[in-house]
Every structure is written in structure tokens, then in C-alpha cells.
Amino acid sequence: MREPGRDKERLQHIVEAADIVLEHSKGMTFEMFTSDKLRYGAIVYYTMIIGEAGYMLSREFVEKYNEVPWGDIAGMRHHIVHGYYKVDNRVLWNIIKNDIAPLREQVQHYLDTIDWSQWTSQQTIK
């Protein structure tokens, strides 16, 4: 359920998963990524967590903090899960190398700057 009271927790999940993806893909080449099946699986799993956590953010959060392409992030997760047999590893690698770090930075900014007690109370009043 997409509850505004859980937005902070979802964002924390994104940061934690992004840290794991970045740590385990550091220094890798595309060839290493696709040939190491265990590491590939772990990186893909945590990429899906990023997508699921983004998908589960409340509508209010997504609308207010729309600098991030939340719909694309959720769509990536849905594609990996439901279209696993046709995932383009080059596209996934591009996301890992170019999009995860900036997303992590933006999400950490939200965690650091939003008044979470006020956010939660404002959303429950509505």
C-alpha cells in the first residue's frame, strides 16, 4: 500500500539498494557483469528493489518531488520482473553505470532535507 507515512522508509530502501548496486558493480566491465551470474543476479535483484521502492512511494510524494522520473523507475522494475526473458543487458548496464548514483544522491537529499514529521502529519490530515 502506498502510504505517505512510509515514504521515508521507501527512500531509505532505495539508498541501501543503490549502495549495494554501486559497490558490487564498481570496477566491473559489461563483460564481467554479464558473465558473473551470481553477481549479475544480485545486482539485478537490488535494482528491482530500487524500482519497487520507487513504485510504492505515495502519489503525494511522487507528485510533489517529481524531479525524479519515478514512473520510469517503476517501469524498469516491472520490465525486469515480468519481462525477465527479454531484458536488454546493455540498457540495464547503462542504468547501473549512469543512473543509479545520481538517483541515490537525489534520494539522499530528500532524506536529509524533508521534515518527515511534518510530511507525515500533513498527509494524514488530507
- What confidence tens digit (pLDDT) does each residue in 21-62 have? 999 999 999 999 999 999 999 999 999 999 999 999 999 999
pTM of this prediction?
0.90
Range(s) of the domain holding residue 88: 4-125
Percent of residues, the chain, with pLDDT higher than 70: 94
d(CA 38, CA 15): 22
**Structural domains in the chain (count):** 1
Residue numbers annotated as active site: 77, 82
Residue from 71, 77, 70 nearest 92 by CA:
77
Q: For the range 46-49, what are the long-range contacts, defined as Cβ-Cβ under 8 Å and sequence gap of 24 or more?
A: 46/17, 46/18, 46/20, 46/21, 47/17, 47/21, 47/76, 47/77, 47/80, 47/92, 47/95, 47/96, 47/100, 48/77, 48/80, 48/81, 49/13, 49/14, 49/17
DSSP structure class, residue 115 = -
100: pLDDT confidence band, cut at 50, 70 and 90? very high
**Cβ–Cβ under 8 Å, residues 11 and 90:** no
- Does residue 116 or residue 4 have the better pLDDT? 116
Across the chain, what does the average pLDDT equal? 91
- SS3 letters across 27-62: CCCHHHHHHCHHHHHHHHHHHHHHHHHHHCCCHHHH
Judged against a pLDDT cut of 80, whether residue 109 lies above it is answered with yes
pLDDT at 124: 56
